Chains A and B, each alone.
Chain A
Amino acid sequence: MIQLKGITKSFGRQQVLKGIGLTVEKGEVVVILGPSGSGKTTLLRCINYLEKPGGGEIRIGDCRVDCRAASKKDIRELRKRTAMVFQQYNLFRHKTALENVMEGLVVVQKVPKEEARARSVQLLEKVGLGAKLDAYPSQLSGGQQQRVGIARALALNPEVILFDEPTSALDPELVGEVLAVIRKIAKEGITMIIVTHEMGFAQDVANHVIFMDEGVVVEEGRPNEIFTSPKEERTKQFLKRFTPEGVYSI
């Protein structure tokens, strides 16, 4: 289980997170929606301490961290329990697809090389890249790179995978293959927190939807509640822009 309490974060004088609380049950898929600048990516990055929260508490499984007094060890423990899929993929450029997936297993989890290799090959096959084991990131399309990124996250067997707008940098033709992979692993009961702008996907894959704006959680609930009958005015306004296809009027 993942629990966030009163997470705050400021960049200089601007407060981007104003006390966020959030509970994610094991196996749940949570989607965070919200306009640009609402703090959703920052929140995600606070969970594994790529951003240092100003205050609050993060709890992942048996690891509880007070953000005001987090030690280096606390941060490593959080990072060992999480994995992240980045908007810009951030694959290690000087390593092949296989080495990218193996890296965390071998270096961080100290899994013997042969075993790490076998597991990594299996994961790359799962994301449909069994034929690209020895390709460098520069030889892969954006969609393929992102799927390697997902395999790299899966390899660590984390308690939760954080997806930071995983399809925002892709061209429209490649979005589908990445979403299909995420859907597939969601069905396997892996806990996920996803920041996305893909509304159809969100509605489809989420167990729980959170709508954020200006650093606070405006509304949360089951996807059909949020998408069909939002309570807050701000949520209605936001969702109105994503009218289903075919009903655009110019």
Chain B
Amino acid sequence: MKLDPSFIWTAFVQILSVIPTTLLITAVSVVCGLVIGTAAALIRTFRVPVLSEVAAAYVIFIRGTPMITHLLLIYFGLSLGVDALSKQFGWAFRSSSIPMIAFAFIAFSITAGAYASEVIRSGLLAVNRGQLEAAHSIGMTTGQALRRIVVPQAFAASLPNVSNLVVGILHASSLAFTVSVVEVTAKAQIVASTNWKFFDAYLAAALIYWGLTLLIERASALVEKRINIYYRGGVA
């Protein structure tokens, strides 16, 4: 086997141009996932009737199936559904006009939501019940208590796991190439398709993923330090 450093460099530079796509998929999925996950976690923690069973089923199904399956199900299912609806109501809209990246956004948000819900739930469990009682005792409504007292502390407690989730989604965003979104992995494949030096191209992609991961870990450490300024407990 012979490596071609100059081609690795060429591939590296070319792949750089699609980093925004990879980061966009990651960011949208994580942000939507955290919103879905926080809602699901609150619903389950406070045992809201009916909804808590729905939330539990969602988490169990999504965590029990591979992410690529979610993407394919959304890609084909949503297309079929949209087209059927359009036909029914006589709309001009066709599934073919949905941008490919939208399928990735939807599918990965659903995936991230299930994982995030467990992350946030563990954070909520880490907040002492006394915090909620104290908030109630000074006259806050449960909504105010959650917003101002419980959820901020739960987020702080789940921060290390959230950063884990971000890294996981960043790596998994490579699956978007299956629905022809040109992100880092797809770009590597395209770059190599002219000279068949796939190994070199994927090596460049790996370096890029690694670099992005280091940046995320660094950023999360900074945020953790800032948010947990009040936290002097634990073993650290």
Binding site for B on A (CB under 8 A): 48-50, 76, 79-80, 82-84, 86, 88, 90-95, 103-104, 107-109, 136-139, 152-153, 156
Contact = CB atoms under 8 A, between A and B. Distances in A.
Contacts of B136: 48-50, 79
Contacts of B131: 90, 92-93
A84 B231 contact: no
Contacts of A49: 136
Nearest 10 interchain pairs by C-beta: A104-B138, A90-B130, A90-B134, A138-B232, A136-B230, A108-B139, A84-B137, A80-B139, A79-B139, A94-B230
A50 B135 CA distance: 11
21 contacts: A49-B136, A50-B136, A79-B136, A79-B137, A79-B138, A79-B139, A80-B139, A82-B137, A84-B134, A86-B133, A90-B130, A90-B131, A90-B133, A93-B131, A93-B230, A104-B140, A108-B138, A108-B140, A138-B230, A139-B232, A156-B139
Contacts of A108: 138-140, 144
Contacts of B156: 94
Interface residues of B, number: 23
B229 interface: yes
A103 B231 contact: no
Interface of B: 128, 130-131, 133-141, 144, 148-149, 152-153, 156, 229-233
Given A86-B134, A93-B231, 12 more contacts: A48-B137, A79-B136, A84-B137, A88-B128, A93-B131, A94-B152, A94-B153, A104-B140, A138-B230, A152-B138, A156-B138, A156-B139
A59 to B, nearest CB: 18
Given A88-B130, A103-B148, A107-B148, A83 B230 contact: no
Given A88-B130, A90-B130, A93-B230, A83 B137 contact: yes
Contacts of A48: 136-137
Query: What is the interface of chain B mostly: helix, strand, loop, or mixed?
Result: helix
A228 B128 CA distance: 41
Contacts of A76: 139, 141
Contacts of B144: 107-108
Contacts of A88: 128, 130
A152 B138 CA distance: 8
Kindly name the residue among A94, A139, A153 whose own CB sees the greatest number of chain B CB atoms within 10 A.
A94
Nearest to A49: B136
B232 A86 contact: no
Contacts of B141: 76
